[in-house]
Structures are given as structure tokens and as C-alpha cells.
Amino acid sequence: MAATDIARQVGEGCRTVPLAGHVGFDSLPDQLVNKSVSQGFCFNILCVGETGLGKSTLMDTLFNTKFEGEPATHTQPGVQLRSNTYDLQESNVGLKLTIVSTVGFGDQINKEDSYKPIVEFIDAQFEAYLQEELKIRRVLHIYHDSRIHACLYFIAPTGHSLKSLDLVTMKKLDSKVNIIPIIAKSDAISKSELTKFKIKITSELVSNGVQIYQFPTDDELVAEINGTMNAHLPFAVIGSTEELKIGNKMMKARQYPWGTVQVENEAHCDFVKLREMLIRINMEDLREQTHSRHYELYRRCKLEEMGFKDTDPDSKPFSLQETYEAKRNEFLGELQKKEEEMRQMFVQRVKEKEAELKEAEKELHEKFDRLKKLHQDEKKKLEDKKKSLDDEMNAFKQRKTAAELLQSQGSQAGGAQTLKRDKEKKN
């Protein structure tokens, strides 16, 4: 690289000067490697696809191990994302691998909102990282980065075309994650059908504007192989953890009544291509694309929603302090406005409540007057009835006394006549 090119890259005013001897900063790459190896790496894979397409089996085959996990059923009421993290060790390199699976994806009758839990999960990981970045005391060097670095989208081997669910989901995800489409269980269709199916999938993705991950070709070391592999997308893969003896070697394969399918045989499937591209060659590029493209897009949109911006209306630099002050003043103005609205609303509600209470009090007084008048009328009726009964009782007593008097007089008259008759008889 020419000195003028270096000066152009580092900025105006920089000069290149020769060194009289060895200084030692050429060991920086080794220092970075040693530091990275000591800290370890993380890689997060999202497996999207319908239940039964072999997502778990493919993950076991890719990393040559057996990940623990519960088998998914077709009876899920909605789409759920299940995340599992594993610590892997190969040579002296440690990898914290997170596998996220979409349980119940495509199993519902109404699949209209099947993509929403996936989008929400990816955004939640971006939001968690953004909140960590915005902290005063950040610990990003020990923070567990849970952002999705690669999305393996499993396509059912129908041999015809993509389902509407696949197109809608990939369209919603292409701006948030690196999508690598793969045809699952590709041994279910013939070679000629598979070639046509790949062409059909590619044309549908292009016509619907779905942006899938393209392996980078800007690095001269991997430009040739990545350019070749971009033409093989989507990869047609087969997964199997079963080892069979083929010839003199034990190989991962699937045994069928008509023959054997070798997983690592490139003439049988694209599993080796997927492993090479995903893990051995482009794993770091997937991590970098996630941070520099997808996360930066989310971060920019989020900060713009919060009111932060780089330039003012005159295209002049806008400092963070000015943005904070402007946002603070705007917030205080909105807060004062809301406070005044709440005060007015409170006063209005108090007035309405007072009017309701006065109306209720008026109704109570009217009801009390009605009851009082009714009580007085009833009392008067009872007093009149009582007086009438007293008069009847007095009249009855008078009649009774007169009757008793008449009866006593009649008894005395009868006794006198009896004595008179007795005397007459004696005489």
C-alpha cells in the first residue's frame, strides 16, 4: 500500500516516517489473538422452521455433540422461543454457544402473527445490549452478548415453492438478523427436483425483496470460496448423529432401505458447505455484521425515537449535551402541560362531583319531605281511626250499662211477684 493511500486513510496532515529499527508493535495481532482466546468467544444461532424439520439434529451434527433438549410437539397454542446456552471447548478456544429454537412455529391454523414472537425476541436482545451500552459503568467486556448472529431458516423440502409463512417471516427478519436459508431433509427430493427447487427459492426471494446473508467477498483470502458458495444458496442439508461403517471408516449417515446417505459427502448434500461457511470461515463476519449493521440500525432508530440526533436542522454538529438539554426542556414542557391538563381535569371533575352531590342532596330532601308528609297523613288517619274506635267503645259501654240496669230491675220485679204469689197461696 502506498504512503499516499495510508495518509488518505488516517486523515489529512499525517505523515509516514521510516523506522530506524525494530520497535515491536508488529506483535499487536498476536496480542489481540491471545487476549481474545483468553476471554473466549460467543456465538448465537436462531433456528427458525416448522416442527419436525430436524433443527435439533442439525445442530447436534454441526457441532459434533449431543445438546440436551426436550422434543417439541405440534400442540403449541402459539410460537415460543426456547434458548439454551452451552460452553464448548475446541483445542484452546472456548465458545459460549447459544441455540434459540422456535417451538410451535407453523403449527397453528392462523399463522398470521407467527413471526411476531421472533421479531420481539431479537429486538429484546438488541435492547438489552443497548441498555448496557447506555449505563454509566459499562461492563461490556464481561457482558454475555445474547444478540442473534445467524438465523438458519429451515425450508420444508416440498420441491415446489416457498410458503407464504416463509416469505413473510424472512421479510420481517432480514433487517434484524443474518438469514441463511437451508433446505431441511433434502434427501426427501431427487437431485433434479432439488436443483429446480433452489432456483425457485432464489427467484422468489429476489422478487419479494428478501435480503439474505451473502458471504463476504471483500477479503482476498476467502473471496473466491465465498463467491462460489453464494451461488449454492440455499444449502440443501441432512442431519444425523448416527455413525455407520462405510468402507473402512465410521461416518455420519442415514440408513434407508434403498441405500445410505452420507452427511459429510458433498455429492449427497451441502452439509459440509454449511459447516465451512457458518463456522470455519465466516463466524467472525457474522458477529461483525450483527454489530455493525443490524444492531447499529436498531440503535440508530431507537436513539432517534428518544430525540437524539447527530446534526441540527442547519446540518451542524449536534452535541450530546445540547441534545440532552433540548430533550430535557421538551420533556419538562410536556410534563408541565400534562400537569396543567390534569389540574384542569381535576377541577372539572370536582365541579361535576359537587353538582352531582347537590343534585343527590336535593333529591334526598324531596324524598324526606315526601316521606314526612306521608307519615303525617298516616298518623292522622290512625288518630281518626283511634278516635272512632274510642267512640264506639264508649257507646258500647253505655249500652252495656243500660242493659245491666234493665236486667237488674227485671230481676227485682220478678222476685217481688214471686213473694206476692207465695203469700197468696198461704192465705
User: Sorting pLDDT into bands at 50, 70 and 90, what band is 329?
Assistant: confident
Comparison of pLDDT for 322 and 216, the residue scoring more: 216
Q: What is the pLDDT at residue 312?
A: 61
Distance separating alpha carbons of residues 77 and 59, to the nearest angstrom:
25
Which among 209, 214, 236, 213 has a CA at the least distance from the CA of 227?
A: 214
Q: What is the pLDDT at residue 315?
A: 60
Asked whether the predicted pLDDT for residue 2 surpasses 50, the reply is no
Q: What is the pLDDT at residue 313?
A: 60
Contact 330, 307 (CB under 8 A): yes
- Percent of the residues in the chain that have a pLDDT greater than 90, as a whole number: 56
Span 72-81, average pLDDT = 81
CA terminus-to-terminus distance, the chain: 186
pLDDT in tens, 206-261: 999 999 999 999 888 889 999 999 999 999 999 998 888 888 888 889 888 888 89
Three cell numbers, residue 320:
450530546
Distance separating alpha carbons of residues 299 and 7, to the nearest angstrom:
31
Q: Residue 304 contacts by C-beta under 8 Å, 6 or more apart in sequence?
A: none
Residue 50: how many CB atoms within 10 A of its CB? 21
pLDDT in tens, 272-321: 999 999 999 999 999 999 999 999 999 999 888 877 776 666 666 666 67
Three cell numbers, residue 24:
515491536
Q: What is the pLDDT at residue 109?
A: 85
Provide the 8-state DSSP code for 182.
Answer: E
Bridge partners, residue 93, by sequence: 90
Q: What is the pLDDT at residue 237?
A: 94
pLDDT in tens, 43-62: 999 999 998 898 999 999 99
401: Cα separation from own chain's centroid: 101
- Percent of the residues in the chain that have a pLDDT greater than 70, as a whole number: 94
User: Sorting pLDDT into bands at 50, 70 and 90, what band is 12?
Assistant: low
Alpha helices (H) in 270-319, listed in sequence order: 271-275, 283-289, 296-305
Comparison of pLDDT for 167 and 69, the residue scoring more: 167
Q: What is the pLDDT at residue 316?
A: 63
Distance separating alpha carbons of residues 292 and 298, to the nearest angstrom:
10
| Class of residue 143 by CB neighbours under 10 A (exposed 0-12, middle 13-18, buried 19+) | middle
Alpha helices (H) in 239-295, listed in sequence order: 271-275, 283-289
pLDDT in tens, 95-134: 999 999 999 898 888 888 899 999 999 999 999 999 998 8
